[in-house]
Amino acid sequence: MTSRPILEVAALHKRFATAGGEVEALRNVGLTMRRGEFVCLIGASGCGKSTLLRIIGGFETASEGRITMDGAPVVGPGPERGMVFQDYGLFPWLSVRENIAFGPAARGIGRVKRGEIAERFIAMIGLTRFADAYPHQLSGGMKQRVAIARVLANDAALILMDEPFGALDAMTREHLQSELLSLWASSGLSVIFVTHAIEEAILLADRIVVMSPGPGRITAEIAVDLARPRDITSAPFNALRREVSALLGAHGGNG
C-alpha cells in the first residue's frame, strides 16, 4: 500500500433545493480510504449513503467540502471510479461483449486490444458462453457480473457499489458476494459498498462506516478484524452484528 490514501472526503455538505425549501442531505462528512481497502457504508434509508456515493463518483456535486482521489480533486465522473448499481445499468442494445468493451472503446482503445480486454473479463466472470447474449437474455446475477466486469474493463481503481445485490435472491447474492471478495483479493481494487444489510457489511468489509439520517452524517466507524473467509455463525461475527445493530438502532433502524 502507498502512504497516500486513495480517497479523501473532507467537510462535505450537500443541500438540495425543493419546493418546500432547502433540504440538508449530508452534513460535514469526512472519510479517508486506504488503497486496497473494502469499506461498507450502512445506515437507515434516507441517511445519504447513495448521495455520498454519487458525489464520490462525480455524478453529483457537493454544496461544500472537497473530495480528492490520489491527491487530485474529483470534479466529475472518471474511469478510475466505476459505479455498479442495483439495476445493473447495462445497455440493452449491446451484447455482453459489447457492454464490457464500451468503456475501452470510449477511451480510444483499438478494436483488437479492446476485444482482448473484453474476452479477459468475460472469462473472469464465467460468462464465456454468454458473450454474445443481450441483457434481456441473462439472469439478474449474470447481469450484475457483467456490470462489475464493465467497470473493471474501464481500468477503475475504485469501485463504488450501490446495493448491487439487493434485488437478487439469497443464493445468487451469496454466490456473488463470494465472487466479489475473490476478485477484490486478487486485484488490489478499492471498494466502497453501500448496503442496509448488517450481515453483508460484516461479511465483506475491512471497515464499516455507519451513517445516520437527518441530515446524513457519519456517526461511527468499525474495523472488522475477523479472519477471511468469515463464518456468519461464529461468536465474534455475531458479537459484531449486535454492535452494529445497536448503533443503527440508536438512529432509527437499519432501513
Give the model confidence (pLDDT) of 65-108 as tens digits: 999 999 999 999 988 899 988 777 889 999 999 999 998 888 88
The CATH number of 36-61+74-80+157-255, from 3.40.50.300, 1.10.630.10, 3.30.1300.10, 3.40.47.10, is: 3.40.50.300
Quote the pLDDT of residue 176. Answer: 86
| Buried/exposed code over 118-154 (b: 16+ C-beta within 10 A; e: otherwise) | beebbebbebeebeeebbeebebbbbbbbbbbbbbbb
| CA–CA separation, 57 and 60 (whole Å) | 8
| CA–CA separation, 139 and 169 (whole Å) | 11
Quote the pLDDT of residue 199. Answer: 95
| CA–CA separation, 132 and 130 (whole Å) | 6
**Residue 254 in this model has a pLDDT that exceeds 70:** no
174-202: average pLDDT: 90
| CA–CA separation, 191 and 184 (whole Å) | 8
Of the pLDDT bands very low, low, confident and very high (cuts 50, 70, 90), residue 151 is confident
Q: What are the helix and strand counts (H, E) for the chain?
A: 7, 10
Distances (CA, A) of 120 to 10, 52, 92: 37, 32, 21
200-223: average pLDDT: 95
pTM of the model: 0.89
**Share above pLDDT 70 across residues of the chain, in percent, rounded to a whole number:** 96
- Domain spans, the chain: 36-61+74-80+157-255, 89-155
C-beta of residue 25 within 8 angstroms of C-beta of residue 216: yes
Kind plus residue range of the DSSP H or E element containing 243? helix 235-249
E strands in the chain: 7-18, 21-33, 38-43, 64-69, 72-73, 81-85, 158-162, 190-195, 207-212, 217-223
Backbone angles phi, psi at 191, to 5 degrees: -135, 130
Q: Pairing between strand 7-18 and 21-33?
A: antiparallel
